[in-house]
Structure 1
């Protein structure tokens, strides 16, 4: 049982104290709580006696909080607001969000750049982005997610976004201090940034180099990150060359924060799909979000060699 009951005469006294401390007026607090001013004064006196210390200083100009009163008010205000937000979340009266789950890198570099304009066009649709280190299908908590599935994947609640195309990326600053690789075999002379996600299967450098027609035997995983977002951050910081995914890298390429040092790419037999919650009560807003999500831009592909991975 909570010991809070030992520290307050009643839960009502907390509401009276909060109103009086916020308005610095017993009269205004009484009006807000729909009780009499003497009732508020009596409740505060009882609370002060229970606490063993004055909470208000009374004078001809009204009331002011004591040091103890200010400390208590800060805690009460924060706790009330936190409780209010939680109750709104679990009740039908709070704001309704479309919850979008994605990897950290997709959330940061694909979803986030679209949200400002989407919110301008659809102010009634509120979006909560949940970054996750594993694939999550829509359920009672998640409304929309973006997942990699076989290219021929079909579902009534899914939408094709773009093919999985993988290619080297680096920052312009990296190429200012390093000679640009001209072929796949030149990559062995560069610092390659590796990613090894615990819960997602990603193509690594050895597999990519082999599929692109190179020799992977000399590829050494000197730098390995367990989150692809960290891999991208290292590439942005000019630490080396990373593998870029068509969907994740499109905004970074468009803004020239990252570039492709040469054009070879691997198109796998997989693709990115949006999956929406099948709950009919949520379908309308989910559909607005899904329908407004643009497909990956084919223009990202530069002229050059395209190796295709067949199943």
Structure 2
């Protein structure tokens, strides 16, 4: 940058040159910059003298760029555009994203298939989905997130979404190629897909079977995934039966990508909650997304 300061008489001269080169008119450049035409002409002359080369050809028809002027204008135009975009993006006028932090399963199977509907209704709102393997607090980087907490959970800027209900799920193709289970005991004769998340407490197959009245001691864990999203992927691929959650599996079941092989479900004492930053200014900005999310999940609360 010290070298650039030596190469141009002033930063103002670059703005004058850009306006004059873009409009090919000292008069129009003066009007745009709110200065006089002689001021523009003088600034260009000083710039040319400083550079030691002519940038414009003056004649009776006006001005036009020399070859050196054209080369310089292309560089200045590109640099100004990049600088303008960067300054706009980091300023209050720049594009603001609403950041939604979610588990990989919620991001992949609930948000990803549906957010385009929200975008159609709110084309001016930009959403950034951040998949995370743990619960994060809404802060200056995260606007909205979903937690599972005891049903009496209550705090400002939080909304009850639905109860935590857990049930078996599998692909329709799996049921076509295996005996259809009719009881909890029958489930134990199938390939059960297991997961154990490090940072989120999820009900396991032994817990579910015991609560459903079955014998969990018969369960064998052949393969266990460390991310519930991988468990769902295996179920979608027809590899066996997984546990499904009321919110995460909502769209998969609605679209018949997964089905419930038996009509048994466990309702826990926990629930899904939508959380947002407690900053009132930010909450006003994210209100359309919150309203949309709650509307899309209203069927789970009926």
- 1:132 deviates by 3.9
Residue in 2 aligned with 1:259? 259
SS of the residue corresponding to residue 163 of structure 1 reads strand
Distance of 1:279 and 1:115 partners within structure 2: 24
After superposition, the CA RMSD in angstroms is 4.3
Distance of 2:175 and 2:13 partners within structure 1: 67
Distance of 1:247 and 1:62 partners within structure 2: 65
- 1:191 deviates by 3.9
Work out whether residues 181 and 261 of structure 2, in 8 Å CA contact, stay in contact via their aligned partners in 1.
Answer: yes
- Residue 156 to residue 7, structure 1, CA distance change in 2 (3 Å): closer
Which one of the candidate residues 285, 296, 299 is aligned to 1:297? 299
- Between structure 1 and structure 2, the one with the greater Rg is 2
Distance of 1:43 and 1:104 partners within structure 2: 60
- Residue 78 to residue 203, structure 1, CA distance change in 2 (3 Å): farther
- Gap runs ≥5 in structure 1: 301-311
1:67-146 maps to which residues of 2 (within 5 A)?
Answer: 77-88=81-92, 93-95=93-95, 98-113=98-113, 115-118=115-118, 126=125, 128-133=127-132, 134-146=134-146
Structure 1, residues 86-124: CA drift from partner, whole Å, max 9, x if none? 223xxxx34555543322322343345554554555667
TM-score (normalised: structure 2)? 0.70
Structure 1, residues 146-185: CA drift from partner, whole Å, max 9, x if none? 2111012233432211111112222223334444444434
Work out whether residues 205 and 219 of structure 1, in 8 Å CA contact, stay in contact via their aligned partners in 2.
Answer: no
SS of the residue corresponding to residue 248 of structure 1 reads coil
- Residue 153 to residue 83, structure 1, CA distance change in 2 (3 Å): same
- Residue 229 to residue 235, structure 1, CA distance change in 2 (3 Å): same
Work out whether residues 102 and 145 of structure 2, in 8 Å CA contact, stay in contact via their aligned partners in 1.
Answer: yes
- Residue 46 to residue 122, structure 1, CA distance change in 2 (3 Å): same
Residue 216 of structure 2 is aligned to residue 215 of structure 1: yes
Residue in 1 aligned with 2:172? 172
Work out whether residues 188 and 218 of structure 2, in 8 Å CA contact, stay in contact via their aligned partners in 1.
Answer: no
Residue in 1 aligned with 2:160? 160
Worse-matched range after superposition: 132-141 or 162-171: 132-141
Distance of 2:182 and 2:81 partners within structure 1: 62
- 1:31 deviates by 6.0
- Residue 30 to residue 252, structure 1, CA distance change in 2 (3 Å): farther
SS of the residue corresponding to residue 142 of structure 1 reads coil
Work out whether residues 209 and 216 of structure 1, in 8 Å CA contact, stay in contact via their aligned partners in 2.
Answer: no
TM-score (normalised: structure 1)? 0.68
Worse-matched range after superposition: 11-20 or 289-298: 11-20
Structure 1, residues 271-311: CA drift from partner, whole Å, max 9, x if none? 011223333334444455434413453499xxxxxxxxxxx
Distance of 1:231 and 1:246 partners within structure 2: 15
- Residue 81 to residue 94, structure 1, CA distance change in 2 (3 Å): closer
- 1:85 deviates by 0.7
Residue in 2 aligned with 1:234? 234
SS of the residue corresponding to residue 136 of structure 2 reads coil
- Gap runs ≥5 in structure 2: none
